[in-house]
Amino acid sequence: GIQVEQSPPDLILQEGANSTLRCNFSDSVNNLQWFHQNPWGQLINLFYIPSGTKQNGRLSATTVATERYSLLYISSSQTTDSGVYFCAVVTDSSYKLIFGSGTRLLVRP
Amino acid sequence: KAGVTQTPRYLIKTRGQQVTLSCSPISGHRSVSWYQQTPGQGLQFLFEYFSETQRNKGNFPGRFSGRQFSNSRSEMNVSTLELGDSALYLCASSVGVYNEQFFGPGTRLTVL
């Protein structure tokens, strides 16, 4: 089956710094989403981005489907950005999201 | 528009008991999926339903079952609970599985 790998596994930033999270996947996908899991466990939608580039405030994402990777950019990080970021994909006929193992981000004041 | 709701939010059971979790999708969403999250195994797919039909099932024992009703609400059941079933159970809904999926707040199950 498809492999979804996220890097780095852990990231510590000072407030105000920028960061890039990466998601590599081993097969073509129909759906790619980025989520932020809050301390209470809920997965918050960040981007639905099977291809192309999107921006939402301080966050932006790019998926290069032909090269099988996606990047999540966080600019001017804030302490509230702390948490775990997941990338998840859906492949043809799988009917399920396959998650990477996540990037744990800690933003220090 | 109301989001995905899950009930109950927290549950404590003992080994051998059974449990039923409920998920109400966003209005108009016909696809409902369930996931289990544990510290050791990460987020694992349980099953997906679309218009009351199970289209895919993850690699879980038969003790885990689910169903979807005509109003798209879904339930999952775990029988003969084991300690290892302690986890956060998340439900997601979407218009179709290839569309953007939205998650509920989860049910945190503790098995003693």
Residue in A95, A54, A92, A93 with CA at minimum distance from that of residue A71: A54
- Alpha carbon B11 to its chain centroid, in Å, reads 14
Which is higher by pLDDT, B86 or A94?
B86
Contacts of A87 in chain B (CB under 8 A): none
Contact B33 A42 (CB under 8 A): no
Identify any residues that bridge with B107 across adjacent strands, giving them in sequence order.
B89
Tokens of A71: 């990047």
Contact B100 A35 (CB under 8 A): no
- Residues A38, A85: Cα–Cα separation, whole Å: 9
Q: Which of A43, A48, A49, A51 to mutate to test the interface with B (most CBs of B within 10 A)?
A: A43
- Residues B82, A34: Cα–Cα separation, whole Å: 32
Check pLDDT > 90 for residue B96: no
Does A34 contact B at CB distance below 8 Å? no
Determine the residue of chain B that is closest to A84 in CA distance. Answer: B42
Between B43, B45, B58, which is nearest A86 by CB?
B43
Determine the residue of chain B that is closest to A36 in CA distance. Answer: B103
Check pLDDT > 80 for residue B97: no
What is the residue-wise DSSP string for chain A?
A: ---EEEE-SEEEEETT--EEEEEEESS--SEEEEEEE-TTSPEEEEEE-SSEEEEETTEEEEEEGGGTEEEEEE-S--GGG-EEEEEEEE-TTT-S-EE---EEEEEE-
Contact A43 B58 (CB under 8 A): no
Check pLDDT > 80 for residue B33: yes
Nearest-CA distance B79 → chain A (Å): 23
Phi, psi of A91 (to 5 degrees): -100, 165
Over its length of 109 residues, how does chain A's per-residue pLDDT go in tens digits? Answer: 889 999 999 999 999 999 999 999 999 998 999 999 988 899 999 999 999 999 999 999 999 999 999 999 999 999 999 999 999 999 877 778 999 999 999 999 9
Does B50 contact A at CB distance below 8 Å? yes
Q: What is residue B2's predicted lDDT score, i.e. its pLDDT? A: 85
Mean pLDDT of B52-59: 94
Contact A97 B98 (CB under 8 A): no
Q: Which of B45, B59, B95, B108 to mutate to test the interface with A (most CBs of A within 10 A)?
A: B45
Does A85 contact B at CB distance below 8 Å? no
Tokens of B13: 């059971």
Contact B88 A41 (CB under 8 A): yes
